[in-house]
Amino acid sequence: MLSEQELVRREALKKLEELGINPYPSEEFKINADTEDILENYPKRKTDYKDISIAGRLMSRRIMGKASFAELQDSKGRIQLYVNRDEICPDEDKTMYNTVFKKLMDIGDLIGIRGYVFTTQVGEISIHVTELRLLSKSLKPLPIVKQSKDESGEIKEHDSFSDSEQRYRQRYVDLVVNPEVRDVFKKRSIMIQAIRNFLLDKGYLEVETPVLQPLYGGAAAKPFKTHHNTLDMDLYLRIANELYLKRLIVGGYDGVFEFAKDFRNEGMSRFHNPEFTQVELYVAYKDYTWMMELTESMIERVANELHGDAKVKVGDHEIDFQTPWTRMTMYESIEKYTGIDISDMDEDQLRAEAKKMQVEVDDSMGRGKLIDEIFGERVEAELIQPTFITDYPIEMSPLAKRHRDKEGLVERFEVIVNGKELCNAFSELNDPLDQRARFEEQVALGKRGDEEAMTLDEDFLRSLEYGMPPTAGLGVGIDRLAMIMTDQSSIQDVLFFPQMKPEANKNQEEE
């Protein structure tokens, strides 16, 4: 059912076509300037802006007889337009102004203009329009914010596009009417490029590995499953790219990394989306202590490139990424924040202790999963400043190398920032016999009902049997890092198109 405004716009579309005006022309509209360029440089180089061509959306319009003021928004910002009927319609036919501009154009239409830049009497940099063209007719009205003053003189906003569900479903509208959102994604892009440049500068090779995998592995997670008709075989969307990147280290590369889309069939929250981005890095002949230093240096550089400072405002906190960061072991962190030493507890004791702490557990959980749940519920939220949590129990880390000094532990760290995991890293397990035994333990957990237990990958084990050098591996959650670097409280705010429940299903539920 079309709204009254949509019907009016369709009628305007019809009238434009009757006037011989194509509301969706095909030919190129050449652009030689943008709003940012004009607003920043016109005061210094006025003679450079006597003949400019610019395009964007019509965002406001004030008709005053034969002259009007309007506002154009392009990808860089907004600028005022001055439109004079006799300038854009120099001959006797004033249709372009009197009918097209005044009556048949609407807020949201995409227009192209030519003209020259000047400064109004009140000092506002504007464009004096000499030619105006309709480039694309908008058939739906934008939710333009309106302002009014109440009795106390306070300014109130109306009709803002602020509902988060609408914004995520219609990101294209969100980007138009909430320009600050575009800045979040610009910063995300700069952040990714900063990480890429940091790793490339060290000589590591950026690679691509399969998204569709015959076996899922490299993390504890439930996969998405699909079927390939030609091969008549089930495949999985990758939950991680770790096992393929390690195969490349076996093949002789000293350092490889990949920005990867990974997929995990798990719960959704403001910190979890089923499709997410991470960068994984593997470097031969290094260990997890070396990787700690690389990690903190890399993230500190990202903060400096985005903010010009290692300190980043995140909600009510100021996060300081200046190196070095705090380090404590997994057992130390649990004892610090719960007062309980769990280092020598067996599975039954851990389950009982978790229940005392009101941590939700079940019988499918082995020792490693129980410790992970206790840490997640009672410790993680306390860690605001960047903190390395090191030396995990072996049951939690089937792909990490046994600790060189501490029995029952592995050489692993996670970085926790603002109460959430940001990075995960190991001294990678390269003993093929030990790795097989660990995989078999995971298979046993899967039979107990653990849907996130790893599978046994025979080809990966075969690659290790050819010999993999001592290797340090790292995974960094790009979406969560973007949340921190752009001060966003939800992962959906740093994803252009987060996963959402279908609107039809939602409407049926409401009925």
pLDDT (average), residues 423-448 = 93
Which whole-number Å values give the CA distances from 122 to 66, 118, 125, 126, 340, in the listed order?
20, 11, 9, 11, 69
**Tens digits of residue pLDDT in 452-463:** 888 899 999 999
455 compared with 285, residue with greater pLDDT: 285
Check whether 338 has a pLDDT greater than 70. yes
**Tens digits of residue pLDDT in 228-264:** 999 999 999 999 999 999 999 999 999 999 999 999 9
- What residues are paired with 68 via a beta bridge? 63, 83
Please report the domains of the chain, with CATH numbers, ordered by start residue: 4-136 (2.40.50.140), 146-177 (no CATH), 180-325+385-500 (3.30.930.10)
Mean pLDDT for all residues in the chain:
93
Check whether 509 has a pLDDT greater than 60. no
> Tokens for 213?
């995998």
Instruction: Quote the CA–CA distance of 374 and 350 in Å, as a whole number.
Output: 9
> Tokens for 454?
């790893």
Helix count (H) and strand count (E) of the chain? 16, 20
pLDDT given at position 352: 92
Q: Where are the alpha helices (DSSP H) in 118-241?
A: 164-169, 171-177, 179-201
The whole-angstrom distance between residue 57's C-alpha and the CA centroid of its chain comes to: 26
Instruction: Quote the CA–CA distance of 40 and 407 in Å, as a whole number.
Output: 62
Instruction: Quote the CA–CA distance of 448 and 451 in Å, as a whole number.
Output: 9
* First-last CA distance in the chain: 18
Check whether 505 has a pLDDT greater than 60. no
User: What stretch of H or E contains 158?
Assistant: strand 155-158
Q: Residues of the chain with pLDDT > 90: what percent?
A: 82
pLDDT given at position 508: 47
Check whether 507 has a pLDDT greater than 60. no
- What residues are paired with 155 via a beta bridge? 149
153 compared with 163, residue with greater pLDDT: 163
pLDDT given at position 455: 86
Instruction: Quote the CA–CA distance of 350 and 371 in Å, as a whole number.
Output: 7
pLDDT (average), residues 98-102 = 93
